[in-house]
C-alpha cells in the first residue's frame, strides 16, 4: 500500500453512517442511554489539507517505512515509542492520528450527550500524545459555542511534534506550548490526556503521581478528566488502575496522612463508582462481560 492509498484510507471524507435500525421502544431506558450509534468520523477539510501538505513536503518512502514499523510495534508490544523523529512524526500523522482522532471524537461527543448542551468547558488542557488531537476534536464539536471557551492549551514537549501542531492548529483557538508555564496557576474545566498512562514498566508510585498531577490541575467545581488508551488488555488495565486510584482518593503512598484529596465520580463508559468486577487485585480477570 503506497502513501496515497494510506492517506485516502485513513482520511476518507466519505460518510458511511451505520443504520442500526434499533427498536428503541422495546429497550430499557438505561440501555438506550448507554447505546452508541457510531459511524465514520469525518475530519474537517482544513485539518485534512494541513496533513496532506505536511506529507507532500516530507520523504514519502521513509514515511511508509516508519509507519510499517509503528504498525508492527502495535501488533507486538501494543505500544508506540514516545520519542519520534521528523519522519516518525509525519508517519504518525498519516497512519495513527486518524485512529486517535476518531476515538477522541466518539468519547468527547459521548460526554456532550451525557452532560447536555449546557456543558461548555471554559478552560481546556490537552496534554495527550500527538499534535493536540483532542483540542482539534474539541473545537470541531464545540464550534457553535466556541466563543464561550476562554483558553485551550496544548502541551507538547517534543519539538518536531510541536512544530507540526503549530501548522495544523493555525487559525484556531489553541495555544501550543512545550509545558505549562509557572505563571499559569489556574485550574482547568476539561483535561484531555489521551495515551499518556499506558506503560507496562511504570511503577505504581510513578503511575499514581502522574494521575494525581492531572487530577490536581482540575477545577474542583466542574472539572472533567478524560483518559483514553488503546482498546487492548494493556490499555484496559491502565485505565482501570487510574479509575481505581481516583475513586479511592489516591489512598496510596503518595497521599500524606493530613492531605485531603477530593474523590471523583465516573461519567463514562461505566457510569458507576463501584469497583470494576473485571479488575481484581490489579489484574485483568478472564471473566467475560
pLDDT of residue 64: 94
Domains of the chain by residue range? 7-19+28-248
Q: Indicate if the pLDDT at residue 184 is higher than 60.
A: yes
Alpha-carbon distance values, 268 to 6, 89, 109 (Å): 32, 31, 11
User: pLDDT for 126-150, tens place per residue?
Assistant: 999 999 999 999 999 999 999 999 9
d(CA 80, CA 7): 20
Contact 249, 262 (CB under 8 A): yes
Residue 47 predicted with pLDDT over 90: yes
132, 172, 233 from 143: Cα distances, Å: 16, 10, 35
Q: How many CA atoms lie within 13 A of 124 on its CB side?
A: 28
**Rg, the chain, Cα only:** 20
Q: Parallel, antiparallel, or unpaired: how do β-strands 283-284 and 279-280 relate?
A: antiparallel
- Give the pLDDT confidence of 210-232 residue by residue, as tens digits: 898 999 999 988 899 999 998 88
Q: Which of 83-87, 167-171, 274-278 has the highest mean pLDDT?
A: 167-171
Confidence band, pLDDT 50/70/90 cuts, at residue 53:
very high
245-268 pLDDT, tens digit per residue, is 888 887 755 555 556 567 788 887
Question: Is pLDDT at 109 greater than 50 in this prediction?
Answer: yes
CATH of the domain spanning 7-19+28-248, picked from 1.20.120.10, 3.40.1210.10, 3.40.50.150, 3.40.50.10800: 3.40.50.150
Query: What pLDDT score does 17 carry?
Result: 36
- Phi-psi group of 78: left, alpha or beta (phi > 0 → left; psi -120 to 50 → alpha; rest → beta): left
Residues facing 124 on adjacent strands: 152, 190
Contact 2, 67 (CB under 8 A): no
Those residues with Cβ within 8 angstroms of residue 264's Cβ, 6 or more apart along the chain or in another chain:
215, 225, 246, 247
> Is 188's pLDDT higher than 80?
yes
Amino acid at each position: 500500500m503506497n502513501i496515497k492509498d494510506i492517506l485516502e484510507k485513513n482520511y476518507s471524507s466519505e460518510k458511511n453512517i451505520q443504520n442500526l435500525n434499533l427498536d428503541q421502544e422495546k429497550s430499557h431506558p438505561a440501555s438506550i442511554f448507554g447505546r452508541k450509534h457510531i459511524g465514520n468520523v469525518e475530519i474537517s477539510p482544513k485539518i485534512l489539507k494541513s496533513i496532506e501538505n505536511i506529507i507532500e513536503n516530507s520523504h514519502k518512502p521513509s514515511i511508509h517505512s516508519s509507519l510499517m514499523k509503528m504498525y508492527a510495534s502495535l501488533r507486538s508490544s501494543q505500544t508506540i515509542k514516545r520519542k519520534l523523529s521528523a519522519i516518525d512524526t509525519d508517519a504518525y500523522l498519516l497512519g495513527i492520528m486518524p485512529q486517535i482522532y476518531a476515538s477522541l471524537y466518539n468519547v468527547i461527543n459521548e460526554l456532550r450527550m451525557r452532560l447536555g448542551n449546557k456543558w461548555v468547558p471554559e478552560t481546556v488542557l490537552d496534554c495527550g500524545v500527538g499534535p493536540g488531537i483532542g483540542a482539534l476534536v474539541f473545537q470541531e464539536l464545540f464550534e457553535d459555542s466556541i466563543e464561550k471557551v476562554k483558553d485551550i492549551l496544548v502541551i507538547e514537549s517534543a519539538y518536531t511534534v510541536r512544530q507540526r501542531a503549530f501548522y495544523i492548529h493555525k487559525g484556531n483557538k489553541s495555544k501550543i506550548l512545550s509545558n505549562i508555564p509557572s505563571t499559569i496557576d489556574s485550574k482547568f474545566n476539561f483535561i484531555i490526556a489521551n495515551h499518556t498512562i499506558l506503560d507496562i514498566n511504570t511503577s505504581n508510585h510513578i503511575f499514581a503521581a502522574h494521575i494525581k498531577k492531572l487530577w490536581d490541575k482540575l477545577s474542583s467545581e466542574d472539572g472533567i478528566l478524560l483518559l483514553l488508551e488503546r482498546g487492548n488488555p494493556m490499555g484496559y488495565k491502565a485505565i482501570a488502575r487510574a479509575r481505581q486510584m481516583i475513586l479511592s482518593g489516591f489512598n496510596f503512598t503518595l497521599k500524606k496522612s493530613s492531605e485531603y484529596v477530593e474523590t471523583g465520580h465516573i461519567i463514562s463508559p461505566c457510569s458507576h463508582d463501584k469497583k470494576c468486577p473485571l479488575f481484581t487485585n490489579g489484574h485483568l480477570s478472564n471473566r467475560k462481560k
